Amino acid sequence: MSTFVGIPRIPSKRRIRVDAGQARIIRMACSLLLDYPDEALESEIAAVRAELHALPDEVAEELEAFCTQALQTGLRDLQVLYVETFDQRRRCALSLTYYSQGDTRGRGQAILAFKEIMARAGFVPVRKELPDHLPVVLEFCALDESGVGEDLLGANQEGIEVLRTALRSARSPYAHLLNALVLTLPEPSPEAIEGYRKLISQGPPTELVGIGDLTATPFPTSQERRQP
């Protein structure tokens, strides 16, 4: 029996319109709370709660639901849950290139593309995680005013939807954060829906057709841009 019984098989098309300021708050809130919980958790939750009044009710309710459950769980148990969820469940990976590239040689090029995109926008991550780590991408979106961050997020919508589905299936409190995020993403294109269905049924790529095949990278790399 599928582990996704009762969970939508296609990405949700329900969307809530938010302005640029609200989008930045939501991205930064999800970035903070999707990171590994440490001693700063309570202060981060307080900071997020202080901004909820500025958000649409449905989004604020999802963020508040996570904050409440996180505090009820307690820091130590939440840390254990975090590792069990994101480090030990492949469908809950926070590395976005895992969904587009799997464990193939092309994944390194995809990660490089994320790094180059952020560097061109003047964003230098201070976290130790790779640039395709969802909390890092969300922080980039929150600080970027060019729109490139939102484009990068949208280009990885299939993986984000698979992650949301997996978290909901596991009844994880972290599903609330993905719900809040997805509510404010663009409506998925037919291509994104098909990509989602393929990921759900087949999983990420496991083999590489040819070395240097970069067709699945989210944006052109510098090597591609130099080609005539």
> Does 102 map to a domain?
yes
- Domain contains 26: yes
**Residue 131 contacts residue 115 (beta carbons within 8 Å):** yes
Per the structure, the complete domain to which residue 127 belongs is given by: 20-203
Whole-angstrom Cα distance, residue 226 to residue 210?
20
Give the Cα-Cα-Cα angle 212, 214, 216 (nearest 5 degrees): 150
199 found inside a domain: yes
Q: Is residue 104 part of a domain?
A: yes
Residue 33 in domain: yes
Closest CA to 64 of 75, 43, 83, 50: 50
Element (DSSP H or E) covering residue 137? helix 134-143
39-70 confidence digits (pLDDT tens): 999 999 999 999 999 999 999 999 999 999 99
The verdict on residue 212 lying in a domain is no
Counted domains in the chain: 1
pLDDT band at 103 (very low <50, low <70, confident <90, very high): confident
* Among candidate residues 92, 89, 111, 96, the one with its CA nearest the CA of residue 163: 92
Query: 118-165, pLDDT tens digit by residue?
Result: 999 999 888 889 999 999 999 999 999 999 999 999 889 888 988 998
Residue 11 lies in a domain: no
Answer yes or no: is 209 within a domain. no
pLDDT tens-digit series, residues 24-40: 999 999 999 999 999 99
